[in-house]
């Protein structure tokens, strides 16, 4: 019985190999459909995050310029601990003198 099942299975496989699938309907106007699909995908707008990703080098240049400008043009800082407290004392004294207090 096993031999008949194997023979039957071999016949089915041979018939399946011999059968040619008709792909003419799928092949018809393939290039037209493909080009239309590509055109449709290209016409879609670019999402905002892709645009932001493309602008990343410009953002990096701006950040680097701000950092360099901050360290280059920063005023020298005093090492005096009381400079922050007494920095406005002379202005207060002169304004009180002019006001008459």
Predicted local distance difference test score (pLDDT) of residue 68: 93
- Greatest Cα pair distance in the chain: 125
Say whether both 91 and 52 belong to one domain.
yes
pLDDT(1) > 60: no
- Residue ranges in the chain assigned as alpha helix (H): 2-18, 24-27, 30-43, 48-54, 56-72, 83-86, 89-99
Predicted local distance difference test score (pLDDT) of residue 60: 96
- What SS3 class is residue 20? coil
Say whether both 69 and 34 belong to one domain.
no
pLDDT(84) > 70: no
Say whether both 39 and 71 belong to one domain.
no
pLDDT in tens, 17-66: 888 888 888 788 889 999 999 998 888 777 888 888 899 999 999 999 99
Number of domains the chain is built from: 2
Q: Supply the pTM of this predicted model.
A: 0.37
Sorting pLDDT into bands at 50, 70 and 90, what band is 87? low
């Amino acid at each position: 019985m096993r031999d008949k099942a194997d023979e039957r299975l071999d016949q089915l496989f041979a018939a399946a190999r011999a059968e040619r699938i008709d792909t003419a309907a799928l092949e018809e106007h393939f290039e037209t459909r493909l080009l239309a699909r590509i055109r449709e995908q290209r016409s879609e707008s670019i999402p905002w995050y892709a645009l932001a990703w493309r602008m990343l080098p410009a953002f990096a240049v701006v950040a680097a310029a701000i950092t360099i400008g901050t360290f280059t043009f920063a005023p020298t800082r005093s090492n005096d601990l009381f400079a922050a407290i007494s920095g406005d004392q002379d202005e207060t004294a002169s304004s009180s003198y002019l006001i008459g207090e």
